Chains A and B, each alone.
Chain A
């Protein structure tokens, strides 16, 4: 089980309570598709992903980014048992979506970059440590049920 200090819980909760899900979700997914173009393989049905401009203007991608970010809410509400909270989602990504789990890490890195841009100096070292710890637990849980 992952141990969280009070400070870490406070930091994670604070980030989420100030989060613009639409903006950050859209920006993070777009950035992932642009910086790591092979991730586009999962978005064949999402319309025009021809270049960075069309990706950033694509409403289906924007909506999906928001959806993914809201998926993190469950981890936030169940920080003491993220592994089991995401068991079903992990199976979904493995058996139905066939997503290479390394992509979770890529998206997490892009999310970190976008949040850093939004928060500026407020994204302190302590904040980054807590945030990346949270994301690495999520990423690990999402990959756990692959078989």
Chain B
């Protein structure tokens, strides 16, 4: 399910529009992940707090969104572009890949909340595909 040229353009366009709110959306998305899917907190047991809205969660959500934006710039070859990030996730973080889908869903919800008009079904499918491709690239080194 790779992205068409049109969908890549749609993703770049929407992320461009989103850039002023990307920190908020990233922070909110991770907060919602740990709230709606409490099992995901298992990856953050080393933090002072992993509750939704807490400072470490918000900060990390911003970090993750930064990574997503970086991936937008590498949309034409995510596998190559995300190689070191994939190694990080495979050998150090070892996040179960099912969680990438859960976070993607939370990101889509936040995008929809902040940009109800712009987040059309066509934008939704392009972004969903992009996030899925991103997750696949992150899993590249897992086994």
Taking Cβ atoms with an 8 Å cutoff, the residues of A that contact B are 30-31, 34-35, 52, 56, 109, 112-114, 116-121, 123, 125-126, 128-129, 132
Contacts and interface: CB of A to CB of B under 8 A. Distances in A.
A53 to B, nearest CB: 9
Interface stretch (B42-50, B67-75, B76-84, B114-122): B114-122
B122 A113 contact: no
A135 to B, nearest CB: 11
Contacts of A119: 113
Given A34-B121, A34-B124, A116-B109, A128 B116 contact: no
Task: Report whether over half of chain A's contact residues are helix, strand or loop; otherwise say mixed.
Answer: helix
Chain B contact residues (Cβ within 8 angstroms of A): what range? Answer: 20 to 34
Given A125-B52, A129-B35, A129-B36, A117 B116 contact: yes
Interface in B85-143: 105, 108-110, 112-114, 116, 119, 121-122, 124-125, 128
Given A34-B125, A125-B35, A128-B32, A113 B112 contact: yes
A112 B53 CA distance: 20
Contacts of B116: 117-118, 120
B121 to A, nearest CB: 4
B31 interface: yes
A125 B28 CA distance: 8
Given A35-B128, A109-B105, A129-B36, A30 B112 contact: no
A34 B112 CA distance: 16
Contact of A128 (B36, B119, B121, B122): B36
A35 to B, nearest CB: 4
B121 A52 contact: yes
B32 A125 contact: yes
